Amino acid sequence: MSLPAADGSPHVPGGPGRTRSGCDGTLGRARRAVGVASLPVDSSNPQPLRPEQQLARRGGLAELLWPAAWLYGGVARLRNAAYERGFLPSFRLEAPVVCVGNLTAGGTGKTPFTVWVCRELERRGLRPGVLSRGYGSTDGGPNDETRALAAVLPGTPCVQDADRVRGGERLATRHRVDVVVLDDGFQHRRLRRDLDLVLVDATRPWGLAPPPGGGAPVRAMLPRGLLREPPCGLARADAVVVTRADQVDPATLEALLEELAERAPGRGIATAAHRPSRLHDAAGSDLGLESLYGREVDLVSGIGNPEAFEATVRRLGARVAEHRRFPDHHAFAPGDLAGLGGAGRWIVATTKDAPKLPTIDAPVVLLEVEIAILTGAPVLAALLDSLPTGRQARERRALHEGLHG
């Protein structure tokens, strides 16, 4: 029997995939729901399949998750309608808010894009601050994303708070920022925003990769798929940014852009790429991206889209001997890296994972990436230029005018 997808279109039942925990904690529940106490193992890879890999497959116990997915989608629609009609309250800060978000659980490039937004604001003479929920943090400390942001934006205040309104008020009043950049907040509608920038990963637009046997990807709400809300939510965006647009063929990209234009009519659409910017060792010494060319390496990752990370390393000319993939926000233990780095191979990791990696004898090198806007840069620039002036910027301007009267 044909089952409806999360957005109401016809859909053929799909199957299981794998990861112990997800970007927002829901993948862990999906893992338990599909009964992965004994996780299947890919014969070409001794590691168990991540939950999203199981969910990408068609058939099996994952099909029992469809009723929960339909319920999840219904609740998401009702919640959005309640905010749109004013039944649920939302709050405005003294500073304008730029939200960087997505529709799915998993990695679409929000952290490097947040860095891009902050740098663009700084180029306009504004002082940004980053606000996030802090998912995956331990003992109240900074989570992976906050540590990564602090490393590349050392002068930018970063606040973690599950209550985003309270955290935003801290940034606006205590840290006196001009603009609050809300990281991963598209579904957090309690905090009003002045600009919504929604990211869509070209390699996995609706969360899941195509099944191993080929065919269309399973497109479904959590917990059957990885959608946090139906794709019609894109109509709330001010602009949609297609990340990793350089990692799919032109026909696939064109088809995606056409669908996005239908789902977000009248909204700006930009495309972007994840560009490797620097390779360095744990001490920070630059090694040069060219040093990966022709070199056999091992990879280790605990991120939302490990396949894209591996593709980036391969495109730099490296030969990957083994890629050890762990769930997003994984807390690494010493044994997780055992056996890697043999025969003098480098272990390549992301800067997001770097603070959590255990100390081992093998050389660990870190790859930094940044967002490069391919198309649509004028649209994004115009949106940032149109942000209202916050209280701190107004006071600073008034002081300047008074001094130079």
Could you report the per-residue pLDDT of 225-256, keeping only the tens digit for each?
999 999 999 999 999 999 999 999 999 999 99
Find the domain containing 342 and state its range.
Answer: 276-370
**Residue 149 located in a structural domain:** yes
Nearest to 179 by CA among 100, 245, 238: 100
For residues 121 and 217, state if they share a domain: yes
How far, CA to CA in Å, does 42 sit from each of 45, 49, 175, 329, 337? 5, 7, 49, 23, 19
**Residue 80 located in a structural domain:** yes
Assess whether pLDDT exceeds 60 at residue 25.
Answer: no
Assess whether pLDDT exceeds 90 at residue 101.
Answer: yes
For residues 135 and 112, state if they share a domain: yes
| Cross-strand bridge partners of residue 222 | none
What is the CATH number for 213? 3.40.50.300
Phi, psi dihedrals of residue 393, rounded to the nearest 5°: -65, -35
Q: Give the pLDDT of residue 147.
A: 84
**Residue 405 located in a structural domain:** no
SS3 171: helix
pLDDT, mean over the chain: 87
Given 62, 84, 106, the domain boundary residue is: 84
Q: Give the pLDDT of residue 355.
A: 87
Asked if residue 327 has a cis previous peptide bond (ω within 30° of 0), the answer is: no
For residues 117 and 62, state if they share a domain: no
Q: Give the pLDDT of residue 43.
A: 41
**Residue 181 located in a structural domain:** yes
For residues 154 and 253, state if they share a domain: yes
**Residue 158 located in a structural domain:** yes
Q: What is the dihedral of CA 220, 221, 226, 232, to 10 degrees?
A: 90
- In tens, the pLDDT along 125-142 reads 999 999 999 876 666 678
User: Are 364 and 285 spatial neighbours (Cβ–Cβ below 8 Å)?
Assistant: no
For residues 57 and 150, state if they share a domain: no
Using pLDDT thresholds of 50, 70 and 90, give the confidence band for residue 1.
very low
**Residue 90 located in a structural domain:** no
Q: Give the pLDDT of residue 7.
A: 39
For residues 254 and 298, state if they share a domain: no
For residues 244 and 378, state if they share a domain: yes
**Can you tell me the distance from the alpha carbon of 74 to that of 328, in angstroms, rounded to the nearest whole number?**
27
For residues 342 and 225, state if they share a domain: no
Q: Give the pLDDT of residue 405.
A: 57
Query: Within its chain, how far is the Cα of 277 from the centroid?
Result: 18
Q: What's the domain count of the chain?
A: 3
For residues 269 and 281, state if they share a domain: no
Using pLDDT thresholds of 50, 70 and 90, give the confidence band for residue 397.
low
For residues 263 and 311, state if they share a domain: no
For residues 217 and 291, state if they share a domain: no
For residues 153 and 172, state if they share a domain: yes
Using pLDDT thresholds of 50, 70 and 90, give the confidence band for residue 150.
confident
Write the CB contacts of 71 (distance below 8 Å, at least 6 apart in sequence): none
